[in-house]
Amino acid sequence: MPDALGPALATAQEPPGGRRAPQGDRVAPPSEYALPPLPYAYDALEPHIDAQTMRIHHDKHHAGYVAGLNAALKKLAEIRSTGDYSNIQQLSRLLAFHAGGYFNHIVFWNNMAPENKGGGGRAQGALGHAIARDFGGVKKFREHFTAAATSVEGNGWGVLGYHPALRRLVVMTMMNQQDLVTTGLVPLLMCDVWEHAYYLKYQNRRADYINAWWNVVNWENVQERYDARCEARDSDGCMASARNM
Ligand code: MN3
């Protein structure tokens, strides 16, 4: 075999997402997540949010989500090595819950600043323009967001987000904290596990369906989605700003 084909063959046999060198500004995840400090003093948001609330919220609740996220990731690594997936349902739920808690609060803390020292006022520039375009003005946006956030049943969040597929700002709510779609998750690979997606052929054997589905996953498309969607988001600052918070 000619030498010239060597590298091409090696590339073709490389597992998807495999041993390639880090590219561009993609940053490897930390081995353990840490609780970021508040970007201001505990009492900086007084009188609107009191210092004791901030102290407990950050030092106890947010810290708890960070610990939970690290514990879930560690446990998942363990079960991958043992191959015992009997707790996968609970661990998947815990990972989503604590990852949501970890990330949402980083956004939340950075979304706030002391009144008249960055807090208050209104959106300016391109964001202000987009709010006017997508909500009919700042007042309408504020009413909409307030009503939506107020209406959340039980624990949850109100969210203003940019939806990359809709290419517009949207207000969404989420119950609890693990519905990452509403905070801007960019889907790269999805498998429909509604019964309508497999029942006629596989009946109740969902695992058989998913095992078969892996044979038709278009990894080139998955990679293209990653490159296009995530790089585009980097260029408009969404992911870059999240990393820097
Ligand atoms: Mn909270």
The CA 88 to ligand 1 mean position distance, Å, reads 25
pLDDT digit string (tens) for 1-46?
Answer: 333 323 332 333 333 344 444 555 678 989 999 999 999 999 999 9
Is there a shared CATH topology between the 30-121 domain and the 122-175 domain?
no
**How many A from CA of 54 to the centre of ligand 1?**
10
The mean predicted confidence, pLDDT, of the chain is 80
Bridge partners (DSSP) of residue 169 are 162
Q: How many whole angstroms from 220 Cα to the centroid of ligand 1?
A: 38
User: Residue 221: its pLDDT value, please?
Assistant: 82
* Residue-level pLDDT at 57: 94
Hey, where are the domains in the chain? 30-121, 122-175, 186-245
Distance 61 CA to ligand 1 centre (A): 6
Phi-psi region of 171 (alpha: psi -120 to 50; beta: other; left: phi over 0): beta
Q: What's the 99 CA to ligand 1 centre distance in angstroms? A: 12
Query: Looking at domain 30-121, what is its CATH homologous superfamily?
Result: Fe,Mn superoxide dismutase (SOD) domain (1.10.287.990)
Q: Whose structure tokens read 């610990």?
A: 67
CA 36 – ligand 1 centroid, Å:
14
pLDDT at 173: 84
**How close is the Cα of 155 to the center of ligand 1, in Å?**
9
Contact assessment for residue 101 and residue 62, using Cβ atoms and an 8 Å cutoff: yes
**Distance (Å, whole) CA 176 – CA 97:** 8
Query: How far does the centroid of ligand 1 lie from the alpha carbon of residue 107, in Å?
Result: 11
CB atoms inside a 10 Å sphere around CB 114: 15
Average pLDDT over residues 158-166: 80
- pLDDT higher at 158 or 144: 144
CA dist 219 and 200 (Å) reads: 26
Bridge partners (DSSP) listed for residue 161: 170
More confident residue, 166 or 28: 28
Note the pLDDT tens digit of each residue in 64-123. 999 999 999 999 999 999 999 999 999 999 999 999 899 889 989 999 999 988 888 888
Ligand 1 center from residue 57 Cα (angstroms): 6
% of residues, the chain, pLDDT over 70: 80
**C-alpha 130 – ligand 1 centre gap (Å):** 28
E strand or H helix at 101: helix 88-110
- The Å distance, Cα 34 to ligand 1 centre, comes to 16
> Which CATH fold would you assign to the domain 122-175?
minor pseudopilin epsh fold (3.55.40)
CA of 135 to the centre of ligand 1 (A): 27
Q: Is the pLDDT of residue 126 over 70?
A: yes
| pTM, full prediction | 0.75
Q: What are phi and psi of 147, to 5 degrees?
A: -65, -45
Under the banding of pLDDT at 50, 70 and 90, the label for residue 237 is very low
Distance 221 CA to ligand 1 centre (A): 36
> How many whole angstroms from 156 Cα to the centroid of ligand 1?
9
**92 vs 47: CA distance, rounded Å:** 39
Per-residue confidence (pLDDT) for residue 224, from 0 to 100: 83
CATH of domain 186-245: 3.55.40.20
Higher-confidence residue: 175 or 131? Answer: 131
Q: Residues 199, 203, 205, CA angle at the centre, nearest 5°?
A: 110
